[in-house]
Structure formats: structure tokens, C-alpha cells
Copies of this chain bind each other. A is one copy, B any other.
Amino acid sequence: MLLHVLFLIAIAAEAMSAALVAGRREMDWLGVCVLACVTALGGGTLRDVLLGRHPLSWIEHPYYLVIVLVAALATALIAPIAKRLRTSFLVLDAIGLVVFTVIGCDIAQGLGLHWIVILVSGMVTGTFGGVLRDVLCTQIPLLFRKELYASVSLVTGALYMAAPHLGIQHGVGLVVAMVVGFVLRMLAIRYHWEMPKFVYRDDWD
């Protein structure tokens, strides 16, 4: 099925971007592998732990781990000789974001949960792998500060959920939600769209 193929591409993409982050911090090869696993599978793992779903996907399908490790190590190997990696990774990362989001919403919907929880499930799946990556690298999660990222997840999830209520077929709604989310993310990166920031200083007290 399309969604499953996209999922495999998405975890490979997240593993690749995690490998570059690890390289910037001069981690060793095993650190690259651990960070790639946490980034690529951490969002879905956190979702399943919160929802109480067992076994976890990568425990049931250990070849997910193999894909992640191969992708991460291949990235570490070719990075020094490859130019223009960054653009390709941003595209792959955006695919990962929308695919993970749709999968997270889909799973929560299958459990008959409230729509707010469905949106949260999509966001956790789509964005918390990156949050865990940033926490392990001790930087404030980009999620909280950069171009529309969590917002893209929110829009994608909302479209996916709204589609059936608008009489749109499930498969079509799924594709539309992912395409809109993907385009929105690409535009946000290109034009540096950002959410308004909340700035607070103590001396205002």
C-alpha cells in the first residue's frame, strides 16, 4: 500500500537528517545510529506508549531498524563527498512529516478517540522524533522556534480528518492532506514563513 511505502521512505529520510545533525556534533558512528533510530522511530514510539499500543512497530517489524541504520550510515559515508544534500533532505524530511502525521491520525482514529486526541496523535507522530533528537543534542527543539513545522502537521491532520465529512473519499483525502501539507512546508522554508512569537521578559513584571 502507498502509505506503507511512504512510511519506509519517511523513516529513511528522518534517519538521514538525524545523521547530518549527529555529524555536526561530531558523534561517533554508534551515536549516529542511536540518534537516527530515536529520530526516525521516536515519534511513533512515543505515540504508541501514550496510547498503550503494544508491541511497538519496530519490535514487531525489526527491519524498520535495519532501514534506519542503513540510511544513517550511508548518509555518514557519502556526506563528505556530496554537495546539495541539504535541499534533498529538506524535501525528504517534509515527506516524513506529512506521512507520519497522517499515520498518527489514522491510528488514533482507528481507536475511536476524540478529534483533539487524533490531532495530537498526528502531531506527536510527525514531530516528536525531531523533538527527541534535539533534546539529545541539548538544543531547544526547532519545532518551537522555526518555520511552520508543527503547524504543517496540524493542517495536514485537520484536512485528513475533515475529508470524509466533506464527502471526499478516504484515499483521496489522504493524498490531498499530504500534498497540501508538503507544499505548505516547502513554501514555509522557501519564504521563511514563521508563526508569530511570544516574547516575554521578566522586567515587564
Which residues in A have some Cβ–Cβ distance to B below 8 Å?
A: 19-20, 22-32, 34-35, 37, 45, 49-52, 54-56, 58-59, 62, 65-66, 76, 79-80, 83-86, 113-114, 116-117, 120, 131, 135-141, 143-145, 150-151, 154, 194-202, 204-205
Alpha-carbon gap, A137 to B138, bound state (A): 9
- CB contacts (< 8 Å) of A194 on chain B: these are 28
Work out how many copies of this chain go into the complex.
3
Q: When the two chains form their complex, are residues B113 and A34 in contact, meaning their CB atoms are under 8 A apart? A: no
Alpha-carbon gap, A104 to B157, bound state (A): 33
Alpha-carbon gap, A139 to B144, bound state (A): 15
Q: When the two chains form their complex, are residues B140 and A136 in contact, meaning their CB atoms are under 8 A apart? A: yes
Q: When the two chains form their complex, are residues B202 and A86 in contact, meaning their CB atoms are under 8 A apart? A: yes
Closest to A121 in B: B59
- A200-B24 contact, Cβ under 8 Å, with A84-B205, A141-B136: yes
- CB contacts (< 8 Å) of A25 on chain B: these are 140, 144-145
Q: When the two chains form their complex, are residues A26 and B199 in contact, meaning their CB atoms are under 8 A apart? A: yes
Shortest beta-carbon distance from A103 to chain B in Å: 18
Alpha-carbon gap, A197 to B106, bound state (A): 39
Alpha-carbon gap, A196 to B30, bound state (A): 9
- CB contacts (< 8 Å) of A23 on chain B: these are 198-200
